[in-house]
Chains A and B, each alone.
Chain A
Amino acid sequence: MTDKNPISPHIQIYNWHISSLISISHRITGIINIIIVTFIFFWVAFLLLGNSNYELVQKFFEGYFGKFLIIGTVWSFSFQILSEIRHMFWDLGFGFELKTSNITGLLVIFGSLFLTIFIFILGRSLFI
């Protein structure tokens, strides 16, 4: 085939399924998690440099953007962990039937939301 021939539309027209949606989210949350872990290290280092920094950090996390960041982080990690467990079952050779994979997919989505709320509330009641 020459370069003259067009390439047929792909991602532009293809329907999203639960599995494909989770697959791409798994990758995106994976990248986000690496960035977040890096930031957590910076945060810890920042606190080590003096206790006046502590108040600054505290203020930041009490604002809307700070809260969004925390909740986003908790969700991103929850999603990644649940999805990874799903992948591990796949690697063992289980859960490939369409129905099963759709159910486990939904479990990952709703489970991650549930875990987010659970961890956030647990964290608040433990540390505040």
Chain B
Amino acid sequence: MVQINLPKNSKVQKGKFYKDKTGSKNIRKVNIYRWDPSSGENPRIDTYEVDMDNCPSKVLDLLNKIKNEIDPSIAYRRSCAHGVCGSCAMNMDGKNGLACTKPHKEIKGDINIYPLPHLKVQKDLIGDLSTLYKQYESVEPWLKVSKKDGHKENLQSIEDRSKLDGLYECIMCACCSTSCPSYWWNGDKYLGPAVLLQAYRWIIDSRDEDRKERLKKVADELKLYRCHTIMNCTNACPKGLNPAKAIASIKKMLATG
């Protein structure tokens, strides 16, 4: 259901202010969404003054600096720091992206950091993605071949292989799905751009023998057709992929048979 306003327990309050202690002249304010599950309080926005003279270039570096030098209690996911694992997906400056590939120089004014939108928050910048993973599982993201050829090499022409370009690069960071208003309002039923792009990746694979079943499964008023081409997904994708186009391709395949 469309619920524009946040529920009572999700209303964001003003939080603490951490004044700069280094005496640096190059200071930026960083506003970070905080929620502590043990406190029972509403989420709040803490503001940190950060010395930018001694801070590397990316938003993740900025977060690490705050965690190491100012406030160790702040929680966020991160792993590879090179835009490959997708752990540090979050909302920076009103747009989803990977903290490890987003330069803070690109952000004008105060730096606002929130968790990925419209998720249940586990702590601070960590959102709960279990619904998305369950939906991912539902599209059966693995190659399906009949058993008798199971031991033979499964060849694919260069042309067929190139159909997977722009799809296989997806790292499932959920930036696209959580940027989609349709997914915000119908996240429990609509599969969302990330999962639909993955579904298309298996539908279009020339080696897969389950195309018809896959298409039949995804052809659903809620699962697929909640996409209204808002294009927030393509705008958000940190890998430069195009989920909107993948979804349209599924719709086109269904329409043209």
Contact = CB atoms under 8 A, between A and B. Distances in A.
A21 to B, nearest CB: 10
Interface of B: 4, 6-7, 9-10, 12, 33, 35, 37, 42-43, 91, 93-95, 112, 114-122, 127-128, 130, 179, 181, 184, 228-232, 234-235, 242, 244-245, 248-249, 251-252, 255
Interface in A89-107: 90-93, 96-98, 101
A20 B91 CA distance: 17
A7 B231 CA distance: 23
A7 B7 contact: yes
Contact of A93 (B91, B118, B249): B249
Interface in A1-19: 1, 3-15, 17, 19
Contacts of B119: 7-8
A96 B234 CA distance: 9
A10 B184 contact: yes
Contact of A20 (B42, B93, B231): B231
Contacts of B232: 14, 17, 19-20
Contacts of B114: 8-9, 13
Interface of A is mostly: loop
Contacts of A92: 252
Nearest to A86: B229
B44 to A, nearest CB: 11
Contacts of B242: 96-98
Given A6-B120, A10-B181, A14-B95, 7 more contacts: A1-B128, A6-B43, A7-B121, A13-B114, A14-B232, A91-B248, A93-B249
A67 interface: no
Interface of A: 1, 3-15, 17, 19-20, 23, 87, 90-93, 96-98, 101
A83 B179 CA distance: 22
Nearest to A16: B94
B115 A8 contact: yes
B10 A93 contact: no
A7 to B, nearest CB: 5
Contact of B121 (A3, A5, A91): A5
A9 B33 CA distance: 9
A15 B235 CA distance: 11
A9 B119 CA distance: 8
Nearest to B251: A91
A89 to B, nearest CB: 10
A10 B120 CA distance: 11
B14 to A, nearest CB: 14
23 contacts: A1-B128, A4-B37, A5-B37, A5-B120, A5-B121, A6-B43, A7-B121, A8-B91, A8-B115, A8-B119, A11-B184, A12-B6, A13-B112, A13-B114, A14-B94, A15-B94, A19-B229, A87-B229, A91-B248, A98-B231, A98-B234, A98-B242, A101-B231
B4 A11 contact: yes
A17 B179 CA distance: 11
Contacts of B228: 23
A14 B229 contact: no
Contacts of A97: 242
B235 A6 contact: no
Which of B35, B127, B229, B249 is packed against the most chain A CB atoms within 10 Å? B229
